Amino acid sequence: MKMTPDEIYRTRKQFFNDHAEKWLDMWYKDKATGRYDKHEQDFERLFSLLPLKPGDQVLDAGCGTGVLAPFILERITSTGMLYELDFSEKMIEVNRSLHARDNIRFIVADAENAPLDDASCDVIICFSCFPHFQDKEKAMRVLSHILKPHGVFAVSHFNSSEEIKKHHGSCHAVMHDHLPDEAAMRTLFQKVDLNIEVFTDEPGFYCIIAKK
């Protein structure tokens, strides 16, 4: 039986709440070494594309348990501010327990309703989350308002769009969650006056870097 949008949303949220405590172990732990460095080279590649600097205000939208937080904090230093936003209460709860810092604000909200001021962030990163946004067009509109003029907007995954589609298709809770194709993504960005400078969609790595 086909689920309604509300049912899809509730099922998705329950899935992330249920898996929050083991999320890092599931996806980022190297089982051979026991260290959380399974994607070390992928993170290096991603952050080589992001112009983060001391003092930056950064929104980590769909942050989950905060796998990006250490990388961001290292670059923006104590003079910057990091906003960790996720719609899953449990993800934020785990995130807060792992990254209690004075320059982090934890926010439980959908990206489509992110409660930040207009033109308040230098960089917005949507890592491994964009397919899960219920209303992608509204999310882009809201997030673009939060981005400062000349700010950087990134969407990234450590899978190609096709790999994500296959992966999510095997899980009932997120089987509807896919990345729009390249043409549709470019249209979403154009509608909110974000100019794409990098568009990579290859096995093991997906990344869009755009500027306002």
Distances in whole angstroms, Cα of residue 188 to Cα of each of 9, 137, 179:
21, 6, 12
pLDDT tens digit sequence for 72-83? 999 999 999 999
Distance CA 61, CA 110 (A): 9
The CATH architecture of the domain made up of 5-211 is 3-Layer(aba) Sandwich (3.40)
**What own/partner pairs with CB < 8 Å and gap ≥ 24 does 101-105 have?**
101/73, 102/78, 103/73, 103/76, 103/78, 103/79, 104/69, 104/73, 105/81
Beta-bridged to residue 58, according to DSSP, are 82, 123
pLDDT tens digit sequence for 10-54? 999 999 999 999 999 999 988 888 888 889 999 999 999 999 999
Question: 40-48 vs 69-76: helix axis angle to the nearest 10?
Answer: 40
Distances in whole angstroms, Cα of residue 70 to Cα of each of 74, 84, 124, 156, 203:
6, 12, 16, 17, 25
Output DSSP code: residue 196.
E
* pLDDT value of position 160: 97
Count of Cβ atoms closer than 10 Å to residue 12 Cβ: 21
In the chain, % of residues over pLDDT 70 = 100
pTM, rounded to two decimals: 0.96
Q: Which tokens is 202 given?
A: 């290859």
